[in-house]
């Protein structure tokens, strides 16, 4: 690179005063520079923390660490040689034999120990590396910069610019965005989705910006990208999910071995607050839809009430303790593959049955609660997700009921007589057409009831997440592998 601080031909010695090994070799430096210079090649002596160190030579001030960054120094002292613009050799720390071989000076280091470990370069200091990447890394972020006045509060400035969800966001500085981008192998400029409602192309970089604002860590980024790709499909119909006056939003269920590494919670309070990964991944998806796609409440988002889950609703399935196959596996994802399933859902409500000790009794309780989803007389039109808690799941497991058996028993109990569902029956105007009075109608369409295992081990509870209008007229659940092209 033409703007590189490194020589085309010559030598570079990088030191810092705070390094005891550098202090030990400092007396050798004037003679070393003199000997190497006789070969006709320049010698750069760069100090990371004190431009007066070492004494007796001309020192390049590298306190901004530009040279150290471009040279990829992780240990000092570091002696490097360049030819034709390329590094051809280096010695890190102090090894008398290595320095003699590299320089061709057979007496170099006489009187010094044969070996001493070096010290960590300031250019790999975790507190500095993100800023160095932003300043010297050569990675160009394409996102528009927002310049703030010195006295301007950055959090209030982001509120004023309308890029928050009503809660404070993390300012997406270049350092933070570049750190976030380290969490994926995708190129920053790669377009991962066209985001409704404005149908704007969204790059990996734009996802990273919003993931920073949401509070994500780099290991969360690929999960956010997968969720966004699922949300921006015709099947999920994110535009419709936004426009409906019902209180639904994307519910993200995470499966696979990577959930643990990402810090996703499948246990106590899995559907609630307190877990960074759950909260941040769900929030990041919503911020992308808002800030990139234009899906803002009061504009295209027309929910009558909404629900707190529209800030972000994400949790993992407890596969390790589950007696059932996972949700992702039931939807065709191979074992060992990380995946997200998006469901257009409202806030969860609790189902309490602390007395059932047989699977039949528990299934009957759950079916009665599921029947009331949205309205006890409305059938087929709405999907639902049943999140079975571990203590309820144990009742089924002890009886040998697998996922398919549980769903079959629930559907059997939710085959409802039309006479109870027609308009006016039970004193309720809501219901189905009068001509269906003689029919038996299912509460849910085939595949319209999803089953997930999650929650804390204490408590004979499960949860129901009601859905939106299903199928072609509304939204289909969508499963997307994480990291898939």
Q: Are residues 272 and 393 in the same domain?
A: yes
What is the enclosing helix (H) or strand (E) of 130?
helix 129-136
Q: Are residues 121 and 160 in the same domain?
A: no
Residue 440 lies in a domain: yes
Task: Give the pLDDT confidence score for residue 142 in this predicted structure.
Answer: 84
d(CA 458, CA 465): 20
Task: Give the pLDDT confidence score for residue 4 in this predicted structure.
Answer: 81
Q: Whose structure tokens read 């990139």?
A: 292
Q: Are residues 212 and 86 in the same domain?
A: no
Task: Give the pLDDT confidence score for residue 109 in this predicted structure.
Answer: 96
337 exposure class (CB count in 10 Å sphere: 0-12, 13-18, 19+): middle
CB-based contact 358:395 (threshold 8 Å): yes
Q: Are residues 79 and 209 in the same domain?
A: no
First to last CA, the chain: 32
Domain enclosing residue 58, as ranges = 10-125
Q: Are residues 246 and 109 in the same domain?
A: no
Q: Are residues 87 and 177 in the same domain?
A: no
Residue 443 lies in a domain: yes
Q: Are residues 304 and 396 in the same domain?
A: yes
d(CA 132, CA 72): 11
d(CA 356, CA 1): 72
The model's pTM:
0.85
Mean pLDDT of successive 10-residue stretches along the chain, which has 485 residues: 80 98 98 95 97 97 96 97 96 97 96 96 92 80 85 92 95 93 95 97 97 98 98 97 96 98 98 97 98 95 95 97 97 96 97 98 98 97 97 98 98 98 97 97 97 97 96 93 90
The alpha helices in 47-128, defined as continuous H runs, are: 66-70, 96-103
Residue 142 lies in a domain: no
Q: Are residues 78 and 180 in the same domain?
A: no
Q: Are residues 465 and 323 in the same domain?
A: yes
Q: What is the CATH number of the domain that holds 79?
A: 3.40.30.10
Q: Are residues 113 and 208 in the same domain?
A: no
SS3 21: helix
DSSP state of 290: H
Residue 1 lies in a domain: no
Task: Give the pLDDT confidence score for residue 156 in this predicted structure.
Answer: 94
Choosing from 125, 146, 176, the residue where a domain stops is 125
Residue 131 lies in a domain: no
Task: Give the pLDDT confidence score for residue 140 in this predicted structure.
Answer: 75
Task: Give the pLDDT confidence score for residue 20 in this predicted structure.
Answer: 97
Q: Give the bridge partners for 92, in sequence order.
A: 78
CB-based contact 335:344 (threshold 8 Å): no
Residue 4 lies in a domain: no
d(CA 158, CA 479): 33
Q: Are residues 50 and 198 in the same domain?
A: no
CA angle, corner 222, sides to 221 and 226, nearest 5? 120
CB-based contact 78:13 (threshold 8 Å): yes
d(CA 44, CA 13): 6
Q: Are residues 197 and 299 in the same domain?
A: yes
CB-based contact 43:58 (threshold 8 Å): no
Q: Whose structure tokens read 């929910």?
A: 303
Q: What is the DSSP string of 46-109?
A: EESS-TT-STTS-EEE-TT-HHHHHTT--EESEEEEEETTEEEEEEESEEHHHHHHHHT-TTTT
Q: How many domains does the chain have?
A: 2
- CA-based nearest residue to 18, from 55, 48, 51: 48
Choosing from 84, 109, 125, the residue where a domain stops is 125
Residue 133 lies in a domain: no
d(CA 135, CA 286): 30
Residue 316 lies in a domain: yes
């Amino acid at each position: 690179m033409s703007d590189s601080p490194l020589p085309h031909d010559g030598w570079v010695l990088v030191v810092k005063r705070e390094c005891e090994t550098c202090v030990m070799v400092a007396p050798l430096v004037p003679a070393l520079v003199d000997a190497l210079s006789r070969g006709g090649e320049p010698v750069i002596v760069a100090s990371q923390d004190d431009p007066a160190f070492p004494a007796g030579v001309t020192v390049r001030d590298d306190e901004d660490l530009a040279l150290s960054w471009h040279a990829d120094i992780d240990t000092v002292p570091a002696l490097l040689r360049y030819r034709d613009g390329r590094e051809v050799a280096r010695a890190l720390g102090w090894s008398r034999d290595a320095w003699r071989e590299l320089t061709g000076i057979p007496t170099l280091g006489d009187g010094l120990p044969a070996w001493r470990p070096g010290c960590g370069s300031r250019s790999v200091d975790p507190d500095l590396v993100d800023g160095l990447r932003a300043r010297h890394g050569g990675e160009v972020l394409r996102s528009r910069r927002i310049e703030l006045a010195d006295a301007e509060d950055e959090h209030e400035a982001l509120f004023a610019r309308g890029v928050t969800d009503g809660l404070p966001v993390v300012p997406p500085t270049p350092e933070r965005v570049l750190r976030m981008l380290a969490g994926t192998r995708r190129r920053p400029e790669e377009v991962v989705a066209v985001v409704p409602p404005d149908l704007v192309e969204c790059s990996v970089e734009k996802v990273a910006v919003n993931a920073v604002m949401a509070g994500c860590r780099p290991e969360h980024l690929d999960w956010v990208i997968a969720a966004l790709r699922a949300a921006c499909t015709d099947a999920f119909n994110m535009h419709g999910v936004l426009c409906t006056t019902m209180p639904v939003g994307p519910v993200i269920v995470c499966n696979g071995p990577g959930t643990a590494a990402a810090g996703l919670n499948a246990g106590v309070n899995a559907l609630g607050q307190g877990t960074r990964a759950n909260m941040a991944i769900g929030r990041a998806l919503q911020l992308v839809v808002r800030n990139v796609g234009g899906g803002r409440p009061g504009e295209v988002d027309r929910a009558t009430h909404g629900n707190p889950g529209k800030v972000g609703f994400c949790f993992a399935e407890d596969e390790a303790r589950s007696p059932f196959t996972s949700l992702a596996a039931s939807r065709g994802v191979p074992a060992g593959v990380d995946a997200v399933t998006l469901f257009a859902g409202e806030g969860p409500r609790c189902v309490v049955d602390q007395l059932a000790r047989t699977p039949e009794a528990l299934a009957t309780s759950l079916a009665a609660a599921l029947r009331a989803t949205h309205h006890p007389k409305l059938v087929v039109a709405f999907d639902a997700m049943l999140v079975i808690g571990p203590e309820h799941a144990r009742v089924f497991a002890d009886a040998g009921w697998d996922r398919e058996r549980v769903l079959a028993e629930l559907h059997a109990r939710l085959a409802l007589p039309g006479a109870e569902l027609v308009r006016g029956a039970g004193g309720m105007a809501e219901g189905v057409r009068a001509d269906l009075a003689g029919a038996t109608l299912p509460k849910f369409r085939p595949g319209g009831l999803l089953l997930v295992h999650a929650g804390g081990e204490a408590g004979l509870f499960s949860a129901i997440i009601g859905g939106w209008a299903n199928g072609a007229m509304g939204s289909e659940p969508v499963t997307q592998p994480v990291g898939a092209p």
